[in-house]
Amino acid sequence: YPADNIQIFRQRYVLGDTAMQKMAQSHVFLSGMGGLGVEIAKNIVLAGIKALTIHDTKQCKTWDLGTNFFVREDDVLNLRNRGEASLHHIAELNPYVQVMSSTTPLNEVTDISFLRQYQCVIVTEMKLSLQKKINDFCRAQHPPIKFISADVYGIWARLFCDFGDEFEVLDTTGEEPKEIFISNISQSNPGIVTCLDNNPHKLETGQFVTFREVNGMQCLNGSTHQITVVSPYSFSIGNTVDMEPYLHGGIAIQIKTPKIFHFQQLEKQLINPTCLVADFSKPEAPLQIHIAMLALNQFQESFARMPTIGCLQDAEEMLKMAVSISKTLEGKPQVNEDTVKWLSRMAQGSLAPLTAALGGVASQEVLKAVTGKFSPLQQWVGCGAIGCEMLKNFALLGVGTGRERGMVTITDPDLIEKSNLNRQFLFRPHHIQKPKSCTAATATRNINPQIKIDPYLNKVCPATENVYNDDFYTAQDVVVTALDNVEARRYIDSLRPLLDSGTMGTKGHTEVIVPHLTESYNSHRDPPEEEIPFCTLKSFPAATEHTIQWARDKFESAFSHKPSLFNKFWQTYPSAEEVLQRIKSGESLEGSFQVIKCLSRRPRSWPQCVELARLKFEKYFNHKALQLLHSFPIDTRLKDGSLFWQSPKRPPFPIQFDINDPLHYSFILSTAKLFAVIYCIPFTEKVSLQLEGVEFVVQTDETVRKPDPIPISSEDERNAVLQLETAILANEATKNDLQMKELAFEKDDDSNGHIDFITAASNLRAKMYNIEPADRLKTKRIAGKIIPAIATSTAAVSGLVALELIKIVGGYPFQAYKNCFFNLAIPIIVFTETAEVRKTEIRNGISFTIWDRWTIYGKDDFTLLDFINAVKEKYGIEPTMVVQGVKMLYVPVMPGHVKRLKLTMQKLVKPAANKRYVDLTVSFAPETDGEEDLPGPPVRYYFAHENN
């Protein structure tokens, strides 16, 4: 991709520029265009390699329609080659990747020297003997060709990687280097570095750090030291006895050092495999799956076919082979008979969600192989049973294809943007600015014409409860979320089974919520995001994130908030003459002084917009620094004698404007353009400044005006009246003058100047405070709060979700469900059991869970006492309190509440519009006096039974 293409912004953030350049120069060979092969091809083409050769010798068959989402019924009827049938679909995913097809037979006598042109070779659906031959050839090259083997048989899968004897990785995790503010460094052996304000350093023993801005131990600055963790808040760095005493300040910055990974060839790893354990409740599973897979490979070699589906004789033959193979492996692991027999029965098939999950993991290994970024898999992973990816899996599984019933309902209020294309494979460039849901529905029908999809364009929130009402949710069997925020997930938590998932770069998670079996999504809460203190943003920034957030706040204030207040004021008071008359008569109009001030300073031309931008430069980057240094001179000390300006507080330095400085020019141009937009003034791409300097008076204690005891001062009134009269006389308070254009921050449109302003403003403030500046991409990521998403993680997550969907539809017991957390960069994959729902005991064997809701059907004349008696009669316990939300309907100790027992329910509570019920909360008397009332489940009260 071109470097400035927003399509791959997230990919660049995850991988970095160096890795992206390596990837864009890489040639990859991929053999086998079954479901797994096409998954890998899709993901690495979306990622942006230079060239891909897909190899396949098989014809399209009916069962390919269940896994290869690019094969159509017409391809099966015409006996097309699987690779050639998929070629143009894969190629159109990314016009910058050259995709070629090969149908040359590959066997033990084939000359494979042609593989020398590739940096990575991936094989699927290949005999083990041929895999060994190709692996040996790849290892013999200089540098070695990276080799990956992957297969899915039924509900079983395996993945193998060999990147050579020595494979260097420059960045093993992909995480941002940690920066630690220092409060003390001891003069000792070893020297102990203590973190500021007991903030954890999150470093590990053996890692390296460098130092900057240390006062006292000056020799530390710029030096590199290996650390040993002492505690979460301190670490040692070696002998500091002979250094000068530490005074104050300093930042320790983590240094990423290269790491060498060592691999063994396939032949050796078959005998003594190094396996990644994904499910720690079954640590023996990887080896058992390994033995079963080797038995399957031996069966193929012996009989030149796969085991016949359901054939007991083939299963017994495979079991004998597995027992024999186990004796040749180191440790002679135990054979799991069930695994071998199930694999025999299913080996001819392939489960689409599993090909998606393994395809996502395998694709990430391909990207590691060609970029040297992230820790590679060493060396096996085996296992058994978001948005566009979800729909692809649903289509392949046949979800929503039933004749009697069956429907997939999707909703998304957004339109397709360029940045969606590199990870949402159903979309193409000609779909940009079309609705996501409708486009995805059409593309999914191409994969499976029998699927029934109903696309909506509504956001799921309280405002759309008339669309997504009780009847809507009752009609759903499962709810699957592909959301980008926690609050939306909490809102959608309902009485339906919920499959939640999410990704952030190489990280991903899946969570299964099954009513009456597991806890709900709302049963647990993540800690809130840490906010930057206001004083830090306003006066004492210490990190790049602070300056970027400050610039984003300035954007919102100047170009969104102020125009909004301006417009609302003039919508309330439609003419300047009316406002002038009201102020003269002594009336107080909220916000009038700020609005009139804005009107009087309104620019009328492009040069005036430039002048306004120049004034902002002086205010933000010169006057602010002068004022702070007047209030707190450099030598200011606190009561304990320590310096005021010490880390993390940094003193500001006033910036003198220079039109020839590209950063200064960029700020003026971008700011002036935004002013021109909100004031509806035509602008150009050039600025010429006549403003030589701007006078600034430092505010001393005498010049700072004390706040007035009343909100309106006569001085303010006089100024407002004078400014408004002047505007009216100059015919500058017309209807057009009384409105501004409000800007909504948009990060993905490079032509609107929003990111230009924030980048320039942030880096000028960083320069003023001697903070490391950020490039445009980092600024966009932080200011836009971009959650990086890449195709590999998305594919893996969606496959795992679809596997859990099969369990839900099949009515599996609690023990069958698994949540998953993974980080493909490290790599780590962890499956955990879901949290079992907890019961709350009331008494006498009566209990409830978070999923329970009691239901009472009333009549028109039902009183509160009738309601209480109905609960007692139906559920065996009498309520002592009845509450609706925060409104207490019946609390016996409250004055007058006993009289409410005779009132009808219709008089006490009202249902929401379009609803015939209310949700109430009841409590029950404690078993012992003096204890708190016992909580009960929510009670839904229907005002009239359906049959009444």
Task: Give the other-Cβ count within 10 Å of 461's Cβ.
Answer: 13
Place of tokens 């048989």: 153
- Residues carrying an active site annotation: 535
Name the token pair of 695. Answer: 């006078």
Name the token pair of 754. Answer: 């929003």
Report how far residue 593's alpha carbon sits from residue 569's, in angstroms, rounded to the nearest whole number.
11
Report how far residue 82's alpha carbon sits from residue 938's, in angstroms, rounded to the nearest whole number.
56
Task: Give the other-Cβ count within 10 Å of 68's Cβ.
Answer: 28
Name the token pair of 424. Answer: 């949402």
Q: What are phi and psi of 596, to 5 degrees?
A: -65, -40
Q: At what angle do helices 754-768 and 544-556 cross, to 10 degrees?
A: 130
Q: What is 748-781 written as a DSSP string?
A: S-TTSSHHHHHHHHHHHHHHHTT-----HHHHHH
The one-letter code for the residue type at 796 is: A
Name the token pair of 110. Answer: 């084939």
The one-letter code for the residue type at 238 is: G
Report how far residue 182's alpha carbon sits from residue 190's, in angstroms, rounded to the nearest whole number.
16
> Residue 248 pairs with which residues in a beta bridge?
215
Contact 128, 114 (CB under 8 A): no
| Helix or strand (DSSP H, E) at 321 | helix 312-328
> How do strand 934-942 and strand 854-857 relate by DSSP bridges?
parallel
> Residue 180 pairs with which residues in a beta bridge?
252
Contact 237, 193 (CB under 8 A): yes
Name the token pair of 257. Answer: 């050092």
Name the token pair of 446. Answer: 């191409």
Q: What is 369-436 written as a DSSP string?
A: HHH-BSPPP-SEEEEE--THHHHHHHHHHTTT--SSS--EEEE--PBP-GGGTTT-TT--GGGTTSBH
By the 10 Å C-beta count (0-12 exposed, 13-18 middle, 19+ buried), 300 is classed as middle
Report how far residue 441's alpha carbon sits from residue 457's, in angstroms, rounded to the nearest whole number.
12
Name the token pair of 12. Answer: 């660049």
Contact 390, 795 (CB under 8 A): no
Report how far residue 755's alpha carbon sits from residue 666's, in angstroms, rounded to the nearest whole number.
11
Give the residue among 780, 251, 744, 743 at the shortest CA–CA distance from 548.
780
Strands (E), 166-248: 167-169, 179-185, 192-195, 208-212, 224-226, 228-231, 234-236
